[in-house]
Structure formats: C-alpha cells, structure tokens
Structure 1
Amino acid sequence: MNPTFNDQVYAILSQIPVGTVTSYGEIAKLAGHPSHARQVARVLKTLPPNTKLPWHRVLNSRHHIALPLGSPSGQEQRQRLLNEGATVDGARVSFPSRS
C-alpha cells in the first residue's frame, strides 16, 4: 500500500533535526510532488495542537515564518525556534553555523 501525501509529509517532518529548518517546497519535493508546497502548508495546518511533529521548523522559501507574526501560531513558531537557538529577525530565521 502506498503512503498518502499526508503520511509522506509526516514522515519527512519527523526527520527534521533540532537546529535546522526546511521549506514547504523542500518537503513537497522530498515527498515526490515538487509543485505541492501549498498542500504541505495545508497538511501542517491540520496537525493537532499537541502534535510532537516539529512543524515549527518549516518556513517559506526565503527562510521566513509564513504565519502572521501577531497570530498565536506565529508567536508559538517564533518561540519554539528561539528555544532551539535560532535567531529570529522579524520573520527571518537563521541558526548559528555548526562547527
């Protein structure tokens, strides 16, 4: 049985390590559907609030938080990234280089 697109997204999402981020487009590409970045965003939007999947490590293609920064979800994403050592300048996210 072939995994669904959602299952593929969940599997890829579960493998994003602490201290790194990826984009909706990269997840879509890894799932075999390179033109489905918006669908990845829809999948993440439907995750339950208590999910253990690291949805907060997924950004837009410019490495910006795509959620409105004033929204509860945008604030949660920002705080989770800060807790993992990210620098968040407005919506732009970066991590220190690893040696």
Structure 2
Amino acid sequence: MNDTSNNPSYQEKIWQIVAMIPEGKVATYGQVAELAGLTNMARAVGRTLSQLPKDTQLPWHRVINAQGKISFPQDSEAYCRQTERLKSEGISLINGKIRLKDFRWQP
C-alpha cells in the first residue's frame, strides 16, 4: 500500500505557495514553481491554476508571466477578471504590464 498522505502532490505544493502570495503582490509562474521545489515547472503551475474551480478562494490572479503580463488573451473574460482583481488590490498595469520591480512578492 502506498501512503502518500505526508507527501503533497505537486499541485498541492503549487496551491500552498499561491495561497501565501500577499494581497498587493504578484509572483511569476516560474517563481511559484521554484518556491514549491518544482524547478523548471512553470508550465505545470499554469496548468494547475487553469484547473481550479471558478469559485476558488485561492488568489490565482496574483500569478503572472515572467514579462509581468497576464497570460490570458487581452480580450478574454478571464483577462478582464484578473485585471480587475489586481487593480482592486492596488496593482496597476501600464500598457498591459505589471512592474515586477514594484509588485513582485519577495518571500
């Protein structure tokens, strides 16, 4: 019998890191992967977050790409939802970009 109850799945590790990102800060997909001990698994972070239920309490909107951009297409509902959530936390986008220098989470 395999007892994995003490070993979180990679998805659980990702969720734990995303849950720690404070309001008003962002992290990149790669940064979340690194902090979760999942080196070079930025795409897995994106995949995991894309599978969250719509009513999740996890602050998925605080995860952006390495260029400081939202990864959804600009005219999509998801892009607008993420933009609004970030703006409500005081995170501004200038020409579609977030200044990582100002808003990147440094745990």
Please, which runs of 5 or more residues in structure 2 have no aligned partner?
1-5
What does residue 88 of structure 2 align with? 83
How far apart in 2 are the matches of 1:79 and 1:29? 27
When normalised by structure 1's length, the TM-score is 0.91
How far apart in 2 are the matches of 1:94 and 1:76? 19
Which of 1 and 2 has higher RCO (CA within 8 Å, sep 6+)?
A: 2
Q: Which AA in structure 2 matches 1:52?
A: Q
- 1:4 is aligned to 2:9: yes
Task: Indicate conservation of the 8 Å contact 1:22/1:58, yes or no.
Answer: yes
Among the aligned pairs, what percent are the same residue?
37
Task: Indicate conservation of the 8 Å contact 1:12/1:30, yes or no.
Answer: yes
- Aligned-partner SS, 2:20: coil
Provide the aligned C-alpha RMSD in A. Answer: 1.8
Alignment of 1:1-99 (within 5 A): 1-94=6-99
How far apart in 2 are the matches of 1:64 and 1:90? 10
Higher-Rg structure is 2
Q: Which AA in structure 1 matches 2:16?
A: A
How far apart in 2 are the matches of 1:59 and 1:90? 15
Q: How many residues align?
A: 98
How far apart in 2 are the matches of 1:2 and 1:15? 19
Please, which runs of 5 or more residues in structure 1 have no aligned partner?
none
Using the TM superposition, give the Cα deviation of residue 63 of structure 1 relative to its aligned residue in structure 2, in angstroms: 1.2
Using the TM superposition, give the Cα deviation of residue 94 of structure 1 relative to its aligned residue in structure 2, in angstroms: 3.6
